[in-house]
Structure formats: C-alpha cells, structure tokens
Chains A and B, each alone.
Chain A
C-alpha cells in the first residue's frame, strides 16, 4: 500500500525526461556500503479497513475515561470540548498548511494566531503572548532560560509546588545550560515564602511558581510577586488558564512571565500529548522572548493583513544566537483553543470554572467526611485537592479497589512527594456529575469500612 500516484507510463515518461534508465540510477550517490542490505524488519502493509480493525483493537486494550469515572487531573484535564472546535480546527485548509511563512497564502491561520495571542493576553493580564510552545513544562523552561540569558545570572529558584514534570524538564534544560536549580519547600501545601526570601541570592535570575499549584492550592501571589520585586529578580508563574476565568490574573500582581498548559481549551487529553504551551510576558521582554509571534500590518492598498514578526530573534535568522531553538510549535492546537474560547465566551468560561469550583468543593466535603479520610491542606483551591488516607491502607491498594468499581480515584502523590505518600490528588471538572462524585464517595467509604 502507498499513496504514490504514478502509473508505469508516468514513471517511464519521467525517467526519459530525466535521462536515466531506472529509478535506481537516481540513488547512485549512495555508496554501496551505505545502502540497505536486507529488507527492514517491519510488519507488511495493510489496507485501510484492516488497519481500522487493528487500531480499534489496540484502542480497546485501553480503558478510556469514557469507560470509567475519572478524577485524574495533575496537568491534563477532562473538560468538555464543544463539537464546533474539532469540526473547524480539523478543516484541511488549516490542518494541512505549513507554518505561515508566506503571509499572502496564510491569512486564515495568521489571523487565528493573532486572536490566540490576544486571548492569552486577556486571560493572563499580560502585554504580549507568543504563538505557542510545546507544552507548559517547556514554556516554563524557556522562561527560565530567557531570564538567565537576560540577567546574566545563573541561578533559578523553583517552588516545590510546581508540577513535578515541569520541575524535571526545568532541571534537564538548566543542567544543559550550566544554570543552577534551587528548590524551596512547601510545608503546608503552599510555597514557603520565608524560604523563598532566603533562597534568593545575588546570582538569582528568576523565581518560578505555579498557581493553582500541583497540589491544587491557590498560592499567595501578592506575597510572591512582592518578594521578587523587592529582591530584583524576574518572576515566572505557571497557571491553569481555566482558573483565570475567576481569579485575578497574574499580570495584575506584576508577574514578569506567565506560562502554562492550555490543553484543556479544545484539545483531547490524548494520553498526554500533543499539548499546548503558552507564553506571555511584559512589553519590556519584547526582544528576548522565545518562539513565533504574529503581528498586524497592511498591504500597499491599505488592506489589513497579518504576518509573523520580530523574526530576527528566531533560529533561522540568528542561528546560534537565537533567543530559543524552537521552530515547529503547536499551531493547530492554538487554533483549537482559540475556537474553544470564542465558542464559550466570557460567560461560558466563567460558567465552567464555577462548576469546577463548586463540584470540587462538594467532592472534598463528601470525601473528607469519610472515616479514615482527611483533607491535609487547608488553603483555598480551585478544582484539585489532596485527600489523605488512613495509614492502615496503602494508597495504591485503594486505587486498585476503586478501579475495580469503575472509578479512577486520582493521582497518587507518593512518588513525587514522599511526605504525601498516603495521599491522592483529586480533580473534579464540570464533566463529573453529582452522581459520579457521590458514587466515588460511597465506593471509597465502602472500601474504607470493609477493608479491601
């Protein structure tokens, strides 16, 4: 099977124009020793119908979140995506286009990205946003490197409440750049501000936090941004963009860079990828920030048009001195997020955020009332919270018992936070019904009462 169109007659006619007797002749610049010696060990080709059956079989070997009641969050979220999003974003005119280097033929995508940048600026309260990054983690790593390059200081202070994968990605990037990673603690589920204050040294370029943080808690943003301002370091924050429908945006607190993961706008969970990182910052970072940006301009007849701009920061022009090596980003997902936000509008987005907030608190109330279950963190939260399970039980055993009842009970914190080894991180979005939540609580109570 292949998607090549040529007939034998086509091939013969083309070879004649080229002036060679065979296609093999076109590969003569490959030295004999570099050519394939034996067929590749790959399964043989399949027709479309057989492939479809095979893929459905593979998919059936998974338990999707349609087949279980999921309370998993931890960075990727199950929010409802209106049908209009995929119907529009999957249009071939968008999906099968390249990066819009030729603006005359790419006005559709360019305008959509300009709209995306605008929406991210409005949500975060920042001056400018780029056209997207790979994911929230790499957006944060790029922010850290930008601050290091800009200040010439080689130390970055990171809160332990930042998503563990984000911190791992940060460590990987900073190590390669010979920059130093310093972590501050979170005794009560929030970044320890006294520790933050003390951790900032002469060589500190930036402070990196997340809110709502990985444990679900809304951080003291006023306190954090104040310390950063007083100590003269850049402040970088990762946010859940859904929470910004309700909460004061980071821009209002004076953060320098706002990054995050926007998968929950219009993109499937997709087993964790592809994701949609965003990156927003203040106007004074205009020559420093990474990635593509689209600007509005006009043609010679005065017609409005959009084009990629501030291009001299980028790798194809500045090469080893570029502000980042990023090239391909997540344009199609940025389009999906834009359509998602356009469809929801302010009332829709606030409505979803309100549902998350109410349902998560309802769930926390029910779960916390179960004998043997505690709520160890007392700070305000948005849609995720931590439950502590009586040490008579091992959390993985509880999770298994819940799975047997068709419930995915949340994310076990033991590996990332040993101090919360007896805890689950529970996420409740608008997609979980009251019946789902009550089913979860009843099942957990039952397991706790009857043992495993």
Chain B
C-alpha cells in the first residue's frame, strides 16, 4: 500500500498536495484498491465553488460508488478531464496522473488539520478491525 510522504490525507481517503496558492486532490491507493477497477469519474467544472466537506464528485467501479469530499472550501481551477477516457489512471497512478481536481482554497489560514502519511497509515490499520 503506497502512502507517499509529503502529502496530506483525509479520513475519507483523499490525498492533498499543497502548493503555494493551489491544492491538488485525488484518492489514495487504499481507496482505489477498495473500489477495484474504476470505470467512471464525475468531476466538477472549472470555476465551480466548493464548500468544505461538500461532495464534489464521484468515483465508480463496477459495483461501488464513492463520493469525493472537498477538504477545504475553494474554487475549482481545473478538473482532470483526461480521466474520462483513462479511468485506469486512478488505479495505476492514484498520486500522479490519477489526480482529480486542483482548487484555490478560500482561506488557507482556516485550513483544517489533516493526517500525515504516518498518521494515515495508522488510521488504516485501526479501521481494518
């Protein structure tokens, strides 16, 4: 199970890469394993405004649907449109070409606390029981 250092994680299995003014969001290796082969990804349009914890999209496998939750309020800068043709990227490269959206957070100061790689690994171990 890959959990790269340097990224932040949520309990709903999203990862976040923080850059200066924008955050990139995707789903974790654990999430894609649990889902199985992803066959459909639904993402918001660029420009959409997201509230914190709002559902911003869905990822579907053959027999499961998983909601994507916005970790922070913000404006969608770009959605990964290449996923509509290449859903396999979510399974094969969840932290790279399988990214979902880039957003510009409204208020980085109010940024909630996320899990570090180590904390997320621990969280997965706990919830396995």
Q: Do A and B truly interact?
A: yes
Closest Cβ of chain B: how far from A298's Cβ, in Å? 15
Contact pick for A318, options B61, B62, B65, CB 8 Å? B65
Q: Mark A416-440, 1 if CB is under 8 A from B, else 0.
A: 0000000000000000000000000
Assembled-state Cα–Cα distance A98/B60 (Å) = 26
Q: Kindly identify, within residues 297 to 340 of chain A, every residue whose CB is under 8 Å from any CB belonging to chain B.
A: 309, 311-312, 317-318
Closest Cβ of chain B: how far from A272's Cβ, in Å? 37
User: CB-CB < 8 A to A309: which residues of B?
Assistant: 62
User: CB-CB < 8 A to A312: which residues of B?
Assistant: 40, 60-65
Assembled-state Cα–Cα distance A311/B61 (Å) = 9
Assembled-state Cα–Cα distance A312/B35 (Å) = 12
Residues of chain A at interface, number, CB under 8 A: 6
Closest Cβ of chain B: how far from A322's Cβ, in Å? 10
User: CB-CB < 8 A to B62: which residues of A?
Assistant: 309, 311-312
Assembled-state Cα–Cα distance A318/B40 (Å) = 14
Closest Cβ of chain B: how far from A124's Cβ, in Å? 26
- List 8 A–B pairs whose Cβ atoms lie within 8 Å, in order of A's numbering: A311-B62, A312-B40, A312-B62, A312-B63, A317-B63, A317-B64, A317-B65, A318-B65
Q: Kindly identify, within residues 52 to 79 of chain B, every residue whose CB is under 8 Å from any CB belonging to chain A.
A: 60-65
Assembled-state Cα–Cα distance A312/B65 (Å) = 7
Assembled-state Cα–Cα distance A318/B64 (Å) = 8
User: CB-CB < 8 A to B40: which residues of A?
Assistant: 287, 312
Residues of B within 8 A of A (CB): 40, 60-65
Closest Cβ of chain B: how far from A291's Cβ, in Å? 17
Assembled-state Cα–Cα distance A309/B61 (Å) = 11
Closest Cβ of chain A: how far from B81's Cβ, in Å? 17
User: CB-CB < 8 A to A311: which residues of B?
Assistant: 62-63
Assembled-state Cα–Cα distance A309/B37 (Å) = 14
User: CB-CB < 8 A to B61: which residues of A?
Assistant: 312
User: CB-CB < 8 A to B63: which residues of A?
Assistant: 311-312, 317
Known: A311-B63, A312-B63, A312-B65. 11 other contacts (CB 8 A): A287-B40, A309-B62, A311-B62, A312-B60, A312-B61, A312-B62, A312-B64, A317-B63, A317-B64, A317-B65, A318-B65
User: CB-CB < 8 A to B60: which residues of A?
Assistant: 312
Q: Kindly identify, within residues 272 to 314 of chain A, every residue whose CB is under 8 Å from any CB belonging to chain B.
A: 287, 309, 311-312
Closest Cβ of chain B: how far from A149's Cβ, in Å? 15
Q: Which residue of A lies closest to B39 (CB)?
A: A312
Assembled-state Cα–Cα distance A318/B63 (Å) = 10
Assembled-state Cα–Cα distance A309/B65 (Å) = 14
Interface centre among A309, A312, A317, A318 (most CB of B within 10 A): A312
Closest Cβ of chain A: how far from B62's Cβ, in Å? 7
Closest Cβ of chain A: how far from B48's Cβ, in Å? 16
Q: Which residue of A lies closest to B58 (CB)?
A: A312
Assembled-state Cα–Cα distance A303/B24 (Å) = 42
Assembled-state Cα–Cα distance A427/B55 (Å) = 54
Assembled-state Cα–Cα distance A312/B60 (Å) = 7
Assembled-state Cα–Cα distance A311/B64 (Å) = 9
User: CB-CB < 8 A to B64: which residues of A?
Assistant: 312, 317
User: CB-CB < 8 A to A318: which residues of B?
Assistant: 65
Assembled-state Cα–Cα distance A309/B63 (Å) = 9
Closest Cβ of chain B: how far from A349's Cβ, in Å? 36
Q: Which residue of A lies closest to B65 (CB)?
A: A312
Closest Cβ of chain B: how far from A93's Cβ, in Å? 26
Closest Cβ of chain B: how far from A103's Cβ, in Å? 12
Q: Which residue of B lies closest to A319 (CB)?
A: B65
Assembled-state Cα–Cα distance A309/B40 (Å) = 13
Assembled-state Cα–Cα distance A216/B40 (Å) = 44
Assembled-state Cα–Cα distance A311/B40 (Å) = 12
Assembled-state Cα–Cα distance A318/B61 (Å) = 12
Assembled-state Cα–Cα distance A317/B61 (Å) = 11
User: What 9 A-B pairs have minimum CB-CB distances, sorted nearest first?
Assistant: A312-B60, A312-B65, A318-B65, A311-B63, A317-B65, A317-B63, A317-B64, A311-B62, A312-B64
Closest Cβ of chain B: how far from A69's Cβ, in Å? 53
Assembled-state Cα–Cα distance A312/B38 (Å) = 12
Closest Cβ of chain B: how far from A345's Cβ, in Å? 36
Closest Cβ of chain B: how far from A300's Cβ, in Å? 14
Assembled-state Cα–Cα distance A312/B62 (Å) = 7
User: CB-CB < 8 A to B65: which residues of A?
Assistant: 312, 317-318
